[in-house]
């Protein structure tokens, strides 16, 4: 029996380089460094991103992921809203994994506070893309 990371994952992941804006949540607010990157993969429970700096496990980040057509996968009111420019997943995420990668870091992030409809929309998007 193997115990690989993929076997332990609760959610299917979609390998897609969506644009991400992230900033660490800490005090004082002036010390919150912001960076733009792309995600490596995304799921209903979290995402992995490249980061120019190292974060410690447990650090909290505010993330904003631009996902065109996200709203068409939403179970709620916004399902009919088709303006791709304003479709974002916004969440508070916790750093759960940090790996050195190509001059930067690969961060595994777990959502700790996210809108339920947005998380369901991501799950629907991922399931449709991965499982068909």
pLDDT in tens, 24-60: 998 776 667 789 999 999 999 999 999 998 999 999 9
**Burial (CB count within 10 angstroms: exposed 0-12, middle 13-18, buried 19+), residue 36:** exposed
User: 69's torsion region: left (phi>0), alpha (psi -120 to 50) or beta?
Assistant: left
Percent of the residues in the chain that have a pLDDT greater than 90, as a whole number: 56
- The predicted pLDDT at position 76 comes to 63
What tokens appear for 112 in the block? 């700790």
pLDDT at 82 over 60: no
């Amino acid at each position: 029996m193997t115990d690989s990371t993929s076997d332990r994952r609760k959610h299917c992941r979609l390998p897609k380089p969506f644009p991400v804006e992230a900033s660490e949540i800490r005090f004082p607010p002036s010390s919150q460094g912001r960076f733009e990157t792309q995600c490596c993969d995304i799921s209903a429970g979290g995402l992995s991103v490249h980061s120019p700096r190292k974060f410690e496990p447990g650090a909290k980040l505010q993330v904003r992921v631009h996902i065109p057509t996200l709203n068409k996968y939403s179970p709620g009111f916004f399902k009919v809203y088709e303006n791709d420019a304003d479709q974002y997943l916004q969440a508070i995420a916790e750093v759960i994994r940090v790996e050195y990668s190509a001059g930067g870091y690969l961060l595994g992030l777990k959502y700790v506070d996210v809108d339920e409809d947005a998380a369901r929309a991501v799950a629907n998007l991922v399931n449709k893309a991965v499982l068909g």
